[in-house]
Amino acid sequence: MAPARRNGAHDSETRTALLDAAEHLMLEEGYAAVTSRRVAAKAGVNAALVYYYFGTMDELFLAVFRRRAEWMLDRQAEALASEQPLWALWDVSHDQANTALNLEFIALGNHRKAIRVAAADYSRRFRAQQLGALSGVLKGYGLDPDVWPPESVILILSSISRFLLMEEAYDLDMGHEQTVAIVERYLRSLEGERRPRTPSDDVP
């Protein structure tokens, strides 16, 4: 029997606790560890509430993905609008926890079409946001778009970050320090030394 509907702050807090629990499990143990019982236990609620709030596990995964993706869109927009947009974008793309979660969703998308469709949609939104901001930035730095296309700069930053994390998962870090140094030396030549991060840069 479905639990009686809750309203207001308690309802929101329970739903948020379930989303937090699912996300933490994905980061700690991978998406395969995310079951209704594990999520409920981590959130400290009855397992029936997972289906009450989300209906299916697919909907729970989608809610986790969309919440994180919307937060990342906001974070990226703030980064791209900063005085050092390339440094800020590098820091965003070099966020290990977020990259790890993205990799889990990519793997999950191989088995769940709804996740794959949502990931593709948000990926296009991320890329459009990046291109809209960086095209003018790179031109302002005097970079020839035929030599340094904004699309390529974006892919270089994000691909390096993702690949480094994948290798680190296998305890392989050969060449990582040198590669990061190359990227950051180039960013330094364009925007100067990286300025201190702000509290808004941190994962909530």
- pLDDT by residue (tens digit) across 186-199? 999 999 999 886 54
Q: Do 40 and 69 belong together in one domain?
A: no
Q: What is the pTM of this model?
A: 0.83
Domain interval for residue 10: 1-55
- Does one domain contain both 85 and 181? yes
Is residue 68 located within the same domain as residue 160? Answer: yes
Domain match, 110 and 170 both: yes
Do residues 185 and 104 share a domain?
yes
Q: Are residues 47 and 74 in the same domain?
A: no
Residues 63 and 14 in one domain: no
Question: Do 79 and 29 fall within a single domain?
Answer: no
- Is 159's pLDDT higher than 70? yes
SS3 of the chain: CCCCCCCHHHHHHHHHHHHHHHHHHHHHHCHHHCCHHHHHHHHCCCCHHHHHHHCCHHHHHHHHHHHHHHHHHHHHHHHHCCCCHHHHHHHHHCCHHHHHHHHHHHHHHCCCHHHHHHHHHHHHHHHHHHHHHHHHHHHHCCCCCCCCCHHHHHHHHHHHHHHHHHHHCCCCCCCHHHHHHHHHHHHHHHHCCCCCCCHHHCCC
Write the pLDDT tens digit of every residue in 98-155: 888 988 999 999 999 999 999 999 999 999 999 999 999 999 999 998 999 999 988 9
Domain tally for the chain? Answer: 2
